[in-house]
Amino acid sequence: MDAVTPDPARSASEPSDVATLSFEQARDELVRVVGELEQGAPTLEESLALWERGEALAARCDEWLRGAKRRLEAAQAAGDAGDEA
């Protein structure tokens, strides 16, 4: 592997760093991981590591989206309560 491309085995073994990613960072890395999987990793182990990383990134994106939905619902509820007053 070259110095620019992260080692998928190392990345997949460190899922805690996914928790610090913004939605955009997680989404962009997920796109990269999917692209690498589509091209075909050289080994089964690398494919599995990429898959695991992708799962963690997808979960992070979902976490951000669920949080955004909760915030929107709270803002709508607050707006509706203000309209009724």
User: What was the pLDDT predicted at 15?
Assistant: 57
User: What is this structure's pTM?
Assistant: 0.73
pLDDT, averaged per 10 consecutive residues of the chain (85 residues), comes to 40 69 97 94 92 97 97 93 76
Structure confidence at residue 85 (pLDDT) = 65
User: For residue 84, what pLDDT is reported?
Assistant: 74
Contact between residue 51 and residue 37 where contact means Cβ atoms under 8 Å apart: yes
Residue pair 36/70 in contact by the 8 Å Cβ criterion: no
**pLDDT score at 82:** 79
Q: In a 3-state reduction of DSSP, which class is residue 79?
A: helix
Determine the Cα angle at 49 with ends 45 and 51, to 5°: 115
